[in-house]
Amino acid sequence: MNLKIALFGIAREIVGQSTLDVAAPEGQSAQGLLLALHAQYPALAGLTSLAVAVNNEYAADDTLLHERDEIALIPPVSGG
C-alpha cells in the first residue's frame, strides 16, 4: 500500500519536502514506519523524539496504518 506522510518543522527540513509517499507492507505499524524512515533518513534518529500521528491523534507504536489515513511525522513540538 502507499502511505502519504505529511512532514513538519525539522522533519520536513531533514527530508527536504513537505510530503512523502512511502510504499509500505499491509499491516505496517507506526513503529515500523519510523524504523523504515530512520533507515532512509538517518538524521531523523538524532531528534529528541519523533512521533507518528494518524488522523490528528498521536499513534501508539503498534497502531496499524491504512492507505486512507492522514499520517504525519511529529518532531518535538515547541509551541507557546
Partner 1 sequence: MIHIDLTDQPIDVAAALRSVEADGAGAINTFIGTVRNQSTGRPVVRLEYEAYDSMALHQLRKVAEQAAEKWPMLQQVTVIHRKGTLHIGDVAVVVAVSTPHRAESFAACQYIIDTLKQVVTIWKKEFYEDGDVWVAAHP
User: For partner 1, which residue of 5, 10, 34, 65 counts as binding (CB under 8 A)?
Assistant: 10
Residue with Cβ nearer partner 1 (61 or 70):
70
Residue 56 CB, shortest distance to partner 1, in Å, is 4
Q: What angle do CA 30, 20, 26 make, to 5 degrees?
A: 40
φ/ψ of residue 11, rounded to 5: -65, -40
CA angle 71, 65, 28 (to 5 degrees): 125
User: Where in 11-40 is the site for partner 1 (CB under 8 A)?
Assistant: 13
Beta bridge partners of 5: 20, 71
Instruction: Name which of 13 and 27 has its Cβ closer to partner 1.
Output: 13
Q: Does 61 bind partner 1 (CB under 8 A)?
A: no
Residue 13 main-chain phi, psi, to 5 deg: -70, -40
Contacting residues toward partner 1, per CB under 8 A: 6, 8-10, 13, 46-48, 53, 56-58, 70, 72, 74-80
